[in-house]
Amino acid sequence: MTLKSRPGSLGKRLTPYLYLSPTMVLMIILMLVPIVIVIGYSFYDNVIMNKHPVFIGIKNYAEILTDKNFHQTIYNTAFFTISSVVFHMIIGLTFSMLLNSKLLHQTTRSIFRVIYVLPWVFTAAIIAILWRLMLNPNGIVNYFLNIFGTIDSKVEWLGSRDTALYAVTFINIWSGYPFYMVSLLAGLQGISIDLYEAAEVDGANSVQKFLYITIPQLKPIIVSMAMLDCIWTMQQFSLIWMTTGGGPIRATEMLSTYTYKLAFSKYEFSQASSSAVIILIFSMLLAFIYVRKQKARD
Amino acid sequence: MKKNLLSVLLSIVLLASFLTVPVFAEDPITLEFSQWWEPELPQGAFRQLIDQFEEQNPGIKVELLSGPYSSTKEQIVAGAATGTMSDVVGLDGAWVNDFVKQGAITDLSALMKEAGYDESQLASQIQLNGSTYMIPVVNFASLLFVNNDLLSGAGIEKIPSTRTEFFEAAKAITNAEKNISGWILPISLETPNGIQNDVMPWAWASGKSMMKDGKPDLLNADVKSAVEYVKSLYDAGVIAPGAFNMKEQDKVEEFTNGRVGMMFDTLAHINLIRERNPELNFSVAAAPAEDSYTGERGITYASWGIGIAENSEHKAEAWKLVEFLMSQDINAKLATIANAFPGNANAAPDLSKSDPLFSDAFKVYQAGHPANEFVGLPVAEDLMRSFDEEFQLMLDGDQTVDEMLANAQAAWEKEF
Amino acid sequence: MSKTTGRNIGKIIVIIMLLIGAVYAGFPVVWMFLCSFKPNTEIFAYPPTFISDTFSLNAYRSILTNSEKIRFFLNSYFVSSVVTILTLFVSVLSAYSFSRFEFKLKKTLNMLIISVQAVPPITLLIPYFGLIVALKLYNTYWALIFTYMVFTLPYAIIMMTGYFNTLPKELDEAVMIDGGSRLLALWKVLIPISIPGMISVGMYTFMQAWNEYLFALTLTKTIEMRTVPIGIQQLMGQHSYEWNEMMAMSILGCLPVLLLFLFFQRYFIEGMTAGSVKS
């Protein structure tokens, strides 16, 4: 049972793979195989609906990339993803700093931590339902805005082209920041107190401590999370689908809803696969940059 | 350690596969029946009917698999693609064409012939290329619901029956200060069936059509006048706010809360409205027709349909279940508990214990003819969706009615 | 200005900011909570009501007296807990490898692990489903457990690698010089220090498994195997929603999760002292 690396070079070279083997087995069987199948699908005229699919090369890709609705989709997805990631980060960092404040009693902190983590514990369907109710023209949000005299008409937050994309992004920010907050909270615990004490001796104020100690110390976590969040947000589906269905008039159409409609509304499974592969390529690009960056840091 | 891990993993997989090896039942055949009806009906009611079937057919057991309605379609597609589809499935008319194309559901005409079934007792069958693939088990008619208090409060005595009357009533009812609207139009793109339930009925009610010889015909004068009419309602500001993101389930809550004077709605909602707001005073009537129209009214309907899986190993037994559900007594019972109208031509719903509005509705239904041109069309949901997108653009003022219809027609033609 | 006044002012500012943040974070959930006690029609009332005149626990009653729905909760807890434990176990091993070894395929594998999660699940659904059927896992807990592990492992591995990277190698080398094995070093030194990280990863894993809908629906078929998100979706009927019951079901579902969090978050503070050991 000993894994202590033996001098034998083969054993030594294999050790890291031994530790990785359970992950690899799962990932290869359950993730790589289906992905390869999907990539395969994307080169046929149509699968699942057709008994005898015909190989057509990259025609599906050409069709999608020249679809004018697809361009709108890219814009929406970029806006949605970048805003979500940026605000997740800002809000997550702010809240985790506040919750980590030594000025507060431990019980106070515990209570606030539980409140702040609330948006995270609900399934997408219920978040969508809840916000649809609140942002309904006759909902509580309009009611408060009316009372405080900010508006006097019924704003259709999710039903108007002008506001729907912002509203959906807002909901996604709300539902996603606790994930950052919790991870950063854990990260903050790892920063040695000595660093801060040393800085205090040098006469650093809190802003300086934040900029020169906290941020650099958290940077690896922040970068990893931002990259993963980009990948996840890019394919966020349920929340958008159940709040707006991509509407009104494609105002909130994202790569994910676009892909879904290709698959289960038009039954063009091959085109949907191509669209999925396009998303995969984007993400691989991100992952590539991330890994390169990591290498540079090492 | 690696060995251990791998062997743990392997034994997990093995164990799991042992646990899932199907138990081979000797004699009784088990039919899987996946549908979304069971949760829609009073608790235990559907199971009771099925128990009756099992009693009559010893040797056949029925396992009811119920899923959320909104995901039923995906489940059938995925099930058919992987060979795990249930023997008998609940269907919506809008899906039939695509499932036939996928080879998911079987030709019922052949099964009926084999069983020597008398087809004349079926009120309707959904056919493609001359063969039946879906049988509507019960039908939900959609009529005009009117809030009587709002109507009379606005000084309107009679339930509108023509477009002009409807327009005037909607205008009179609308009161922005009191937050009351004349009509409500749910056309969310998530579930674009508002096009089927709330827009097209303006054409269907007057016996008009959006199809010609099995091909889309959106450019005809009748569809145009219907769309222009809805546009005029929208421009007059009589439609409740939030239309572009509203779903059927929101529509009924707005009406129940007394904020909407009139809506097109399924009769399945009568009991729901009564239960959720017992004080609401409302009536049902046929959808308004063109002013000059005197013929039979088209009544929009939707069905709970039934079909049999192509990959079922027990098609004959599956047919027995369908036959049972379509038999006169059982079908009438099911229709009664579902607040729907029966799919068996000879069955009559037992309206004695129902809300009096159901008898009114049944009279309207019988005086008219059922209309829903989306049933059986290819990618029907997508047709509604592409129509909906253009429709929203038009309502929002980005294009004229003519441009809208031309765009929608072009999008539809691609699918035929 | 004395130091205490400064501290007090700072404390007041922090509390005010926390309260503002709490409204943003908590109000929607409070609203959900209030709605769970209302009759369905009142949820749509305008002007909105806060505490209903017809306050009732009916929604909760109808969930808690329904054995099928109780089963949804048990399934969800079982699957999510198993996934959390297995994911933590497997990811710690992988992270250790990524953090403490140099090997040929390191970058490639790392990139692969990150990017495989990039395909939208909806397009993977059908091939994945076929695979599960072929492996004879259809309608079993293992189908869900393996699926969620595959979904959560990438993040877990990346994060645990990150935490291990912040810990100096001398720590585990000290154990190994004393004659301990690598596993002993991992178990005795790295894992205890990384508890805050493991808890945040565990939380994430649990929430992912807890909230997943699409695969839970497709990979199971019988009512005994269904999870809470499916139960919630089942309340969204063809013609109408049971708004208050959906709300009540989510509230009931989240309570144990929040209690767990309340219990585990104290480790954030304990972890702090452990983290300072390293310098």
Across the interface, whether the CB atoms of B67 and C138 are under 8 A apart is answered no
C-alpha A207/C-alpha A202 separation (Å) is 14
Q: Which residue is closest to C207 within chain A, CA to CA?
A: A121
Looking at the complex, report in whole angstroms how far the Cα of residue C264 sits from the nearest Cα belonging to chain A.
Answer: 10
- Three-class SS of residue B91? strand
Per-residue pLDDT reduced to its tens digit, C32-83 = 999 999 999 899 998 898 887 888 899 999 999 988 899 999 999 999 999 9
pLDDT at A6 over 80: no
A30–B contact, CB cutoff 8 A = no
Residue A163 banded pLDDT, cuts 50, 70, 90: very high
Of the candidates B187, B199, B174, the one whose C-alpha atom is nearest the C-alpha of residue B259 is B174
* Structure confidence by residue, pLDDT tens digits, B199-234: 999 999 999 999 999 899 999 999 999 999 999 999
Interface predicted TM-score (ipTM) of this complex, two decimals: 0.87
pLDDT tens for B7-66 read 555 555 544 544 454 444 456 899 999 999 998 888 889 999 999 999 999 999 999 998
Exposure string over B105-133, b if 16+ CB within 10 A, otherwise e: bbbbbebbeeeebeeebbbbbbebeeebb
Sign of the torsion angle spanned by Cα atoms A87, A91, A97, A103: positive
Between CA C80 and CA B88 the distance in angstroms is 32
**Chains near A (3 or more Cβ pairs under 8 Å):** B, C
What is the three-class DSSP state of B96? helix
**Which residues of chain A are within 8 Å of residue B240 when distances are taken between CB atoms?**
137
* pLDDT score, position B23: 47
Q: Output the domain CATH number for residue C204.
A: 1.10.3720.10
Interchain CB contact of A176 with B (< 8 Å) = no
Number of domains in chain C: 1
C window 217-236, beta carbon within 8 A of A = 228-229, 232-233, 236
The alpha carbon of residue C46 is apart from the nearest alpha carbon of chain B, in Å, by 9
Q: Does A173 touch chain C (CB under 8 A)?
A: no
Least confident of A15-19, A21-25, C175-179: C175-179
Q: Is C17 among the domain residues?
A: no
Output the pLDDT for position C256: 86
When pLDDT is cut at 50, 70 and 90, the band that residue A90 belongs to is very high
> How confident is the model at residue C257, as a pLDDT?
85
The pLDDT of residue B410 = 96
Chains in contact with B, where contact means 3 or more Cβ–Cβ distances below 8 Å, are A, C
Task: Tell me which CATH code domain B141-301+361-413 carries.
Answer: 3.40.190.10
Kindly determine whether residue B84 and residue C221, on different chains, have CB atoms separated by under 8 Å: yes
Tell me the residues of B at the A interface, defined by beta carbons under 8 Å apart.
1-2, 4-6, 9, 73-74, 77, 81, 98, 101-103, 179, 188-192, 240-246, 250, 254, 259, 379, 381-382, 385, 388-389, 392-393, 396, 398
Contact between chains at C119 and A238 (C-beta distance less than 8 A): no
pLDDT of residue B21: 47
Q: Say whether residue B19 is in contact with chain C using an 8 A CB cutoff.
A: yes
Backbone angles phi, psi at B215, to 5 degrees: -120, 155
Domains of chain A: 56-61+72-271 (1.10.3720.10)
What would the two tokens of residue C161 be?
């690698």
Determine the average pLDDT of the residues in A5-17.
71
> Is the pLDDT at A25 greater than 60, yes or no?
yes
In a domain, C43, yes or no: no
Comparing A48-57, A284-293, B260-269, which segment has the lowest mean pLDDT?
A: A284-293
Q: How far apart are CA B258 and CA C42, in angstroms?
A: 11
Which residues from B are below 8 Å from C125, CB to CB?
Answer: 74, 78
Percentage of residues of chain B with pLDDT beyond 90: 78
Q: Residue A248, preceding bond cis, omega within 30 degrees?
A: yes
- The pLDDT tens digits for C181-225 are 778 778 878 888 888 788 888 988 998 999 899 899 999 999 899
Residue C196 forms part of a structural domain: yes
- Work out the percent of chain A whose per-residue pLDDT is above 70: 95
Please give the residue that has the higher pLDDT: either C106 or B203. Answer: B203
CA neighbor of B276 nearest in space, from C240, C66, C69: C240
Q: What's the rounded Cα separation, in Å, for the pair C259 and C254?
A: 9
Cβ-based neighbour number of residue B236 at 10 Å? 14
At residue C177, the pLDDT reads 76
Is B294 part of the contact surface with chain C (CB cutoff 8 Å)?
no
Determine the residue of chain A that is closest to C143 in CA distance: A30
Tokens 């099995």 correspond to B214
Least confident range of A54-63, A155-164, B355-364, C107-116: C107-116
Hey, is the C-beta of A267 within 8 angstroms of any chain B C-beta?
Answer: yes
- In chain B, domain spans: 17-139+302-360, 141-301+361-413
Rounded to the nearest angstrom, the minimum Cα separation between A91 and chain B is: 29
Q: Is residue C244 part of a domain?
A: yes
Per-residue pLDDT for B329 more than 70?
Answer: yes
Instruction: Give me the pLDDT at residue C277, please.
Output: 37
Interchain CB distance below 8 Å, A249 and B5? no
Q: Are strands B369-371 and B298-308 parallel, antiparallel or unpaired?
A: parallel
Beta-carbon separation of A183 and C204 below 8 A: yes
Q: CB C210 to CB A129 under 8 A?
A: no
Q: Which residues of A touch C165 (CB under 8 A)?
A: 220
> What sign does the dihedral C70-C75-C78-C79 (CA atoms) show?
negative
B118-127, B241-250, C49-58, range with the lowest pLDDT? C49-58
Contacts of B4 in chain A (CB under 8 A): 1
Residue-level pLDDT at A73: 94
The answer to whether C119 contacts A38, with C-beta atoms less than 8 Å apart, is: yes
C110: phi then psi, degrees, rounded to nearest 5: -60, -45
C274 — pLDDT class (breaks 50, 70, 90): very low
Residues of A in contact with C103 (CB under 8 A): 13, 16-17
C194 lies in some domain: yes
CA-wise closest residue to C199 among C256, C264, C134, C263: C264
Neighbours of A1 (CB within 10 A): 7
CA A53 – CA A43 distance, rounded (Å): 10
How many Cβ atoms are within 10 Å of A197's Cβ, its own excluded? 10
Query: Which residues does chain B have within 8 Å of residue C236's beta carbon, measured at their own beta carbons?
Result: 68-70, 249
* Per-residue 3-state assignment (H helix, E strand, C coil) for B9-23: HHHHHHHHHHHHCCC
CATH number assigned to the domain covering B17-139+302-360: 3.40.190.10
B339 sits in the region (left: phi over 0; alpha: psi -120 to 50; else beta) called left
Among the ranges given (A4-13, A45-54, A268-277), the one the predictor scored with the smallest mean pLDDT: A4-13
What is the overall mean pLDDT for chain C? 86
Task: Report the share of chain B in percent with pLDDT over 70.
Answer: 94
Work out the pLDDT band at A235, boundaries 50, 70, 90.
Answer: confident
Q: What is the largest CA-CA distance in chain A?
A: 79
**What is residue C109's predicted lDDT score, i.e. its pLDDT?**
87
Write out the two tokens for B137: 């088990």
Query: Quick one: pLDDT at residue B12?
Result: 52
- Torsions phi, psi of B126, nearest 5? -100, 115
Q: What integer pLDDT is reported at residue A296 of this predicted model?
A: 59
Best to test chain B binding among A165, A239, A249, A257 (most B CBs inside 10 Å): A249
Q: Does position C269 have pLDDT exceeding 60, yes or no?
A: no
The three-point CA angle A24-C137-B32 to 5° equals 155
The pLDDT-based confidence of A131 (bands split at 50, 70, 90) is very high
| Structure tokens given for B247 | 């779903």
Phi, psi of C57 (to 5 degrees): -100, 15
Polymer length of chain A = 298
Peptide bond just before B192 cis, omega within 30 deg: no
Fold agreement (B17-139+302-360, B141-301+361-413): yes
pLDDT reported for residue A297: 54
* Any domain includes C35: no
Residue at C50 is within a domain? no
Domain with C172 in it: 66-277
C235: nearest Cα among C258, C209, C256, C253: C253
Sign of the torsion angle spanned by Cα atoms B219, B223, B225, B228: negative
